[in-house]
Each structure stands twice: as structure tokens, then as C-alpha cells.
Structure 1
Amino acid sequence: MVEQQREHLDDFLDDDSEEPVLRPRRPRDRSTGTPPTFVTVMAIIDLIFCTLRIPLLILSAIGIVGILSNPQLATALVPSLISVVAEALIAACGIVAGIGMLMKKPWASIPGWVAVVSCVISLGSNIFSTLITMDVNLSQFQVQQSEAARIGAYVGLVGTVLFRLVLLGCYIVALQMFTGWIGKTRTAEA
């Protein structure tokens, strides 16, 4: 029994030493196996946010019907339609990409990049409709907006845009990491 333990310790001993020596472990080969943790976390976050978009899309569609039934709101129609279509693409492509990334499928980056482009379009449309059509729509109804309410709207816009840009940046990094990981697994298999 002592001999078996001695043989096992020989793996950790230097040739001329009786004391165990800690040797650094070889780095894990990350070319196969699981994608980086950041990719997995961002895929889960994207799945959550894209799933939460679905009820908001239903409410947006109801809002579009309201805009169509009121000709005074015609200035808000085009940005609203663009935003709803972009949001639908974000939800659909984001869910498909998130599931594909979690399943480690190489095609998952394609709907992911479509979701990124849709997010940029949605962001631009939302900024345009907030900055341009807010004053036009309020003036049509002779609503006097206080300066505090106007400042609050702009602070909310800036906060929302910054939050979405940070998430978009993280998602882009995760897509690039996923694409790189997929490329490494393909070369490791070849």
C-alpha cells in the first residue's frame, strides 16, 4: 500500500527531491468544450430580454392601431412602425440566437448579428421619435409641457439609450467571442 502511494507521489516529485513540488497546471485547451462563460451569460440575458419584449410588442401593435385610427398622430406613424418591426426582429432573432448559442450551434451568430442591426435601427427610431415627434405631437393637442417634464423626458431618454448601448456592446463582444470559439472548435476538429 505504501508502494502504491509512493508511485502516485512520483508524479509530483522532482527527480532528486523527496518533497512534493507544486508544478503549474497546463492551461486548459479552450478550443473545444464549452464556450466562454461571458458568452453563456450574455445568451441567457438576451433570452430573458427578448422574451420580455413579446408582451411589449403586443402593446406596441395596439398602439399602432390607435395611431392609425387618429389622423392627428400621423407624424408618429412611420417611426412607430419602424420601431415595432425592428423590435419584432430583435425578439425573434435574439431568441433564436440565444438558444443556438446555448446549444453551441455555429449558425447562431447569424441571427445574433441580425438582432444587433435591428437593435441599432430600433435605437435610432426611438431617439428620432422622442426628440422630433414629442414636441410636434404635444403641440397638436395644445398640451403645455412644463420644463421639468421636458427635462425628465430627456434624462429618461439618455438613461435608456446608455443602458441599451452598454447591453448592445456586451452582446457584440459576446457574439465575437462566440464566433472565435466556433472557429477554434472547427480548426481543432479538422
Structure 2
Amino acid sequence: MREYLAISTLLFAGFTFAGQTDFYLTELQHKFVENSELCLDEHKWPQLSSSQSEPWMISRLNALATVGLITATIKPEGVEYTLTEKGRDAWQAREDFCYGALRISKVTAIEFQENGINTVYFYYGVTDMPDWARDKSIRYAYSEVDTVIRGMNKEVIQVDVRENPDGTLELLNYPTPASIDSENE
């Protein structure tokens, strides 16, 4: 009888955790849909670079030119970078070059705390990633893109949430890396 009770308790606990992870995954995904686009923060076109421009900025502009989003024209005052047709199509939707949207792949753990603030740990993926974002020149010039790509379904992210009385979740901070899953490297 004790054995049956112990097994029943473990099964119930497993179903409860599975139900909670499903709830948190669904609720967090709804929150992320509102603001989950990953973008390069390139809002101003055309851009002009000169011999005084920072090397990292020129590297980024050259990477965008390599993937066909912008074109470079040499002018007396420097190099002018303008959007190509492909670049206009990619840029106009958000007035930025966005390379996908963050999606939760799997909730791995939930730390329930006494103060009502819970920490949720999860793996992420990216949906709707354009081919240009995977190009090595973009990944080199925009290291944040490379970090996101390398971390997909490998890096555990954490976010703090509060469960409201109405059952909804409130995000308390921006998702941040928690650890790297060494088994998937």
C-alpha cells in the first residue's frame, strides 16, 4: 500500500509539473509575441562613412552590403550606403533589419519562491530567420546575431515572473542567459 501511495504521489507531482510547464510556456510565449522580434538596430538610411568612422561601424555596413541589403557608393565626402530593393523589403516592415522572433522551445525548470516571484528557465529558438542572418559576415559583424544562433536550443535562459491573481503572468525583467547546457555542445 505504501509503495502504491508513493508511486501515485510521484505520478501526480510529475503531472502537476508538466501542467505548470505547459502553462508557463504558453503564457510566456504570449508575452514574448508582443515584443520578441530580434533586430539589428539599424534605423537610419542612407548612412555615410568616412575615414573618421569607427571600424566596427564600417564592418557592419560592409556585412549588410555583402548579403545584398545595402549598396555602397563612393562619394567625395566618404562612402554612402543605401538600401537595395532587397534591403528596402527587409527594412520597411519595422524600420529595422529584423532576423526572426524569439520562441520558447521548452521550459526546463521553475523555481517557486516564497515572495510570489518565480524564476522560469527555458530553451529558445528563433522563427522566421532570413537566410542573410545566417551569413558569416553578418554573424561576425553583429556578434549578438551569432550569440543568438549558437545558443538556440543549447543555452538556458531565465526570466522572473509574478503570477497575478487573475492567473496571468507578469514579466519582471528581460530574459537573460542562465547557463550553457554542456550536453548539447
Output the TM-score relative to the length of structure 2. 0.30
Between structures 1 and 2, the one with greater helix share: 1
Bigger RCO of structures 1 and 2 (CA < 8 A, at least 6 apart): 1
